[in-house]
Every structure is written in C-alpha cells, then in structure tokens.
Amino acid sequence: MRSRKTDLKMASCDSWLPEYQWRTHHGRSVRAEPAVAARAVRDVVPGDMYVLRPLVFARSIPARLMSAKEERYLAKDERVIDGLYEGVGAFPLQDDPDGDLVVGFVGQPWTLRQNWLTLTPDEYRDFDEPGHIKGLMAFSVGTRGSETRLHTETRVYGTDHASVRRFRPYWLLIEPFSSLIRHDWLAAAARNAGS
C-alpha cells in the first residue's frame, strides 16, 4: 500500500504525457468511499455545475458564427465527460471505473475552428506532428489518512516552437476559466457522492 496517492496520480499522467509546458492541478476532500467518488466524477452533468454552461457558450461564440451546429455537450442531462468526447474532440486514454480517468486532446485551439483531432491511445502516445498542442485532463481518487481526495490535473505540450508561441496567449486567457470549471466539476462530484 502506498502512503501517498500523489505517486499513483503522477504515474498515470506521466505514462501519457511526461513532458509538458503547462500544468494545472486541483484537489478536494470528499466524504465518500474512493470508488463512489470516482463514479461521481464520471456522472456529473452540466446541470450539476454552476459555471460550465455560460463559459462554454461564451467560448463557442466564434465557432457558432461560422456554423449553426450547436455543441452537443450543453445538454443539461448528458454527462460532461461524454460531451467532451462528442462535442470537443477529446478521447479516452485510460478509464479505470473505480479509479483514474485520463482524457486526451490534440488540436490547434488558437484557430477559429480549433481543429481537434480524435486519436486512439496508441496514436496519441506517438503523436508529434508540428503545429499542434497535445494535452490531457486526468481525474484520480485516493486516500489521505481517513479522507478521500479527488484530484484533477491538466497538462499541455506544444509539439514545436510555433505551437508553443501560438498556444501561450490562449492558455493565459482560458486557464483561469478552465480552473474554475475544474473546481466546479470537483464540487459537483463531491455533492453527487454525498458530501
């Protein structure tokens, strides 16, 4: 038995994206068993969250001006994680039902259309095409003493100098809102788990 979940959490992220230029991480205590908390993360719907829908709507305005297609994951009763897969172009890398969830994304978010790619886990691991960012969002659950901890981490890697230069201002703009969404997601999961 490991005394710190941090080692396992980092190992999960490190196995998918060991090198990165940008990283955020957030955690929260939950009054629930680890398996219950892990399922609660997956079961969060937009209606459980306070900030997701307005922020996603604002972010999608440029794309909406280009196309009438509405982003699917704004439906209040659809799991947020499913909406990421279907609406944003994220894809599952690792999903341990009572443990870690790792979602990958590859694209050019600084462009109007954002150009998200959908890859298999093996394609993701090998991807290094210049002009893109490669990222992950991970949720993990562990224990610290007698309490259960939910943790989320986001990592982003620019595949070349040009993508790093293009992504930097985008990250500076969206990171505070992205962190707000992660906090909101963890809070919704905690409520759904009975905390």
Domain with residue 127: its CATH number is 3.30.530
Contact (CB, 8 A) for 135 and 105:
yes
25 assigned to some structural domain: yes
Instruction: List Cβ neighbours of 120 (8 Å cut-off, separation of 6 or more).
Output: 91
Instruction: List Cβ neighbours of 96 (8 Å cut-off, separation of 6 or more).
Output: 38
82 assigned to some structural domain: no
Structure confidence at residue 66 (pLDDT): 65
80 assigned to some structural domain: no
Structure confidence at residue 16 (pLDDT): 96
Structure confidence at residue 80 (pLDDT): 85
The answer to whether residue 1 scores a pLDDT higher than 50 is no
Structural domains of the chain, count? 1
Task: Flag the least confident range among 55-59, 64-68, 164-168.
Answer: 64-68
Q: What percent of the chain has pLDDT over 70?
A: 83
* Range(s) of the domain holding residue 102: 5-43+88-192
Q: How far apart are CA 37 and CA 42, in angstroms?
A: 9
Q: How far apart are CA 175 and CA 63, in angstroms?
A: 19
Q: What is the mean pLDDT of the chain?
A: 86
The answer to whether residue 93 scores a pLDDT higher than 80 is yes
> In angstroms, how far is CA 44 from the centroid of its own chain?
13
Q: Residue 119, SS3?
A: coil
Structure confidence at residue 24 (pLDDT): 96
Structure confidence at residue 135 (pLDDT): 97
31 assigned to some structural domain: yes
Could you tell me where the DSSP H helices lie in 17-137?
34-43, 52-66, 80-83, 121-126
123 assigned to some structural domain: yes
Identify which of 132, 136, 92 has the alpha carbon closest to the alpha carbon of residue 114: 132
| pLDDT band of 9, cuts 50, 70, 90 | low
- E strands, the chain, are 22-30, 91-95, 101-107, 133-144, 147-158
Structure confidence at residue 112 (pLDDT): 79
48 assigned to some structural domain: no
pLDDT in tens, 97-145: 899 999 999 999 998 778 899 999 999 999 999 999 999 999 999 988 8
Whole-prediction pTM: 0.85
Structure confidence at residue 6 (pLDDT): 40
Q: How far apart are CA 96 and CA 102, in angstroms?
A: 9
The answer to whether residue 57 scores a pLDDT higher than 80 is no
106 assigned to some structural domain: yes
More confident residue, 51 or 153: 153
26 assigned to some structural domain: yes
